[in-house]
Amino acid sequence: MNILGEAIRRLRLKNELTQVELGKLTGFKQNTISQHEKGKREIDEEDILKYCKALGVSPQTLFDMSSKKRTSKELSIIYNKLETKRQTKVYDFATEQLNEQNNKITNINDYIEEETNWYEVKFYGSISAGTGLYLDDEQVETINFGADMVPSGTDFCLKVNGDSMEPMFNNGDYVFIKRETDFRNGTIGAVIVNGEAYLKKIYIRDNFIRLVSLNKKYKDITVSEDDTLKYVGTVVF
């Protein structure tokens, strides 16, 4: 079993790639990628380098994304394998860390104020990941996010309404948008069609535009020359 599968899956979705598309970049078959992402197939050093090159990240980033907290059971197993003297050192160090933690955070509100860098983002309301909502440019609020939560290039944010863009975006999630007038084929962005706003993956065809949901239970929306379309902006990660 490998520990990198979930990180690979998240990076693939972030890069708007299907397993088949990622397979073309790495040389892996779609079934192999599926097994890797589920953690059911081992990944060696060569495989890791192929994924990192295709996904545009370093091996360290991939491992950092895959790191997880140890369970109490795992810690207990390791502790019990140590010699008595080493167990004492572990206990003393853990006690020291706990005391330092308790002394450092005396007031959670003070801690949040001092340690968190806040970033104010314009909020234009909800956008449909389903059947369409009205988006009003005049109704502007602001929301504070931790600075590390706001992607570079963000101009404003919207709140997802519906489940048509699952599993990437869930109902109630905030999406960060870079305001743009043009879009590339396959972009995930916010569009207004005949006065209703959608969050969709956008494909350009010869004489129409196709708005695609990531949730396969929703049908594509076809935008023809008779429809009015305004591109609001691109989702940034």
pLDDT digits (tens, 9 = 90+) for 45-57: 888 889 989 999 8
Write down the domain spans for the chain: 5-66, 72-110, 118-236
Nearest to 193 by CA among 175, 211, 217, 181: 211
> Which residue numbers are catalytic?
164, 200
Question: What gap in Å lies between CA 212 and CA 199, rounded to an integer?
Answer: 9
Question: What gap in Å lies between CA 210 and CA 196, rounded to an integer?
Answer: 15
**What local confidence, expressed as pLDDT, does residue 90 receive?**
73
**What local confidence, expressed as pLDDT, does residue 76 receive?**
72
**What local confidence, expressed as pLDDT, does residue 61 receive?**
81
| Mean pLDDT, range 211-232, rounded to an integer | 92
pLDDT digits (tens, 9 = 90+) for 157-183: 998 988 999 888 888 899 999 999 888
**What local confidence, expressed as pLDDT, does residue 33 receive?**
92
pTM of the model: 0.51
- Given pLDDT bands bounded at 50, 70 and 90, which one contains residue 103? low
Average pLDDT, the chain: 82
**What local confidence, expressed as pLDDT, does residue 201 receive?**
94
pLDDT at 234 over 90: yes
Question: What gap in Å lies between CA 73 and CA 67, rounded to an integer?
Answer: 17
**What local confidence, expressed as pLDDT, does residue 27 receive?**
94
- CATH topology for 118-236? Umud Fragment, subunit A (2.10.109)
| Mean pLDDT, range 189-207, rounded to an integer | 90
**What local confidence, expressed as pLDDT, does residue 111 receive?**
44
Least confident of 31-35, 61-65, 201-205, 233-237: 61-65
**What local confidence, expressed as pLDDT, does residue 129 receive?**
65
| Mean pLDDT, range 23-32, rounded to an integer | 92
pLDDT digits (tens, 9 = 90+) for 55-99: 998 887 887 777 654 556 656 776 777 788 877 877 777 777 777
Beta bridge partners of 22: none
DSSP states along 49-97: HHHHHHHT--HHHHHHHH--PPPHHHHHHHHHHS-HHHHHHHHHHHHHH
| Architecture (CATH level 2) of domain 5-66 | Orthogonal Bundle (1.10)
User: Both ends of the chain: CA-CA distance in Å?
Assistant: 29
pLDDT digits (tens, 9 = 90+) for 104-139: 544 445 444 445 578 888 888 877 765 555 455 555
